[in-house]
Amino acid sequence: MLDETGLKYNATKFIKTCLFKREIKYVKLDKAAMDYYMRLTTFHSQFRAIGVNYNQVVKHLKATFTEKMALAMLYKLERATIELVTINQRIEKLTEEFEQKYLQIK
C-alpha cells in the first residue's frame, strides 16, 4: 500500500494516517496515457489547420484557374482528402483500442 500511495519517501506520514484510520487517498498518473492524449491533441489541432487550409485552397482554385484546371487540381485534393479520412479512421480505431486496453473505459 505504501508504494501505491506514493508516500514511500514519507513512511511516517503513511503510518500516522493508517494508525488514526484516516482515509488514504492517492492519485496514480499514467504517463503513457497522458503522452498519448497530448500527442493526439497536437495531431487534432494540425488536422483542423488542414481543414482551414482546404477551404482557402478551394477558394483560390476557383478564383485563379480555369474551370478545367481547377477540376483537375480538385481531383488531386479529393484524393488527398480521402487519404486523410482513412488516417483519421485508423487513429480513431487505435484510440479505442488504447482506451480499452490501458484505461478500461467502456
Quote the pTM value: 0.55
CA 28, 32, 105: angle at the middle one, nearest 5? 70
Tell me how far apart the alpha carbons of residues 58 and 69 are, in angstroms, rounded to a whole number.
Answer: 12
Question: How does pLDDT run across 28-76, given as a tens digit for each residue?
Answer: 667 877 888 888 888 888 888 887 888 888 888 889 998 899 899 999 9
Taking phi over 0 as left and psi of -120 to 50 as alpha, with beta for the rest, 21 belongs to: left
Residues 6+ apart with CB under 8 A from 1: 14, 24
Domain boundaries, the chain: 30-103
